[in-house]
Amino acid sequence: MAEVLLFHHALGPTEGLHAFANELRQAGHTVHTPDLFEGRTFDSIEEGVGYASEVGWGEIMARGERAAESLPNDLVYGGFSLGVVPAQMLAQTRPGAKGALLFYSCVPVSEFGAWPAGVPTQIHGMDADPIFMEEGDVEAARELVASADDAELFLYPGEQHYFADSSLPSYDAPATTLLTQRVLEFLARVG
């Protein structure tokens, strides 16, 4: 079984994040869901990103690093949207990564150096999500897939950004069912 460090999106650690983590736990995986926002949650992406900017992106990244410090190196790093940034950074820079799960977002690989050899990844997004499709994420995802030896990009029909968060109106149950199936297959393979 895999051990996963899973970072939340800009709304904070929502019930939907915890529900997703619990599905992975029910399949036998160990999942850690650190709170990068120190107990705060937000009603909009803009508010959450505003908080992260106010605290400082360096501090958000440092919180992600601190969340990993007491955990073993052989983790799968996962993140939803804003949480992709610390997850991808750790997957690329912390030795021993077992894999990366990047939901709704992807950062150019060059931000953190090269993609490490032997670290598989999955990237999940919606094919009409304006954030994923128009703000550079899908291009970064395609670049990662082209540069890594084991990487997959999955595009789902729809325009929602937070489509796998069951606590939000943007939730898409059919897409999330398929996403979860793919994630569980990935974790079974790398665990």
> Rounded to an integer, what distance in angstroms lies between the CA atom of residue 91 and that of residue 155?
22
pLDDT (average), residues 81-100: 98
pLDDT of the residue at 16: 97
Average pLDDT, the chain: 97
> Rounded to an integer, what distance in angstroms lies between the CA atom of residue 31 and that of residue 90?
16
pTM of this prediction? 0.97
Computed from CA positions of residues 9, 15, 20, 21, in that sequence, does the dihedral angle turn out positive or negative? Answer: positive
- pLDDT tens digits for range 7-44: 999 999 999 999 999 999 999 999 999 999 999 999 99
pLDDT of the residue at 19: 98
pLDDT (average), residues 89-107: 98
Predicted confidence band at 106 (pLDDT cuts at 50, 70, 90)? very high
pLDDT of the residue at 99: 98
pLDDT of the residue at 76: 98
Domains along the sequence of the chain with CATH:
3-190 (3.40.50.1820)
Strands (E), the chain: 3-7, 30-32, 76-80, 99-103, 121-126, 151-156
For 113-129, letters b (16+ CB in 10 Å) and e give eebbeebbbbbbbbeeb
Tokens read off for 7: 């970072």
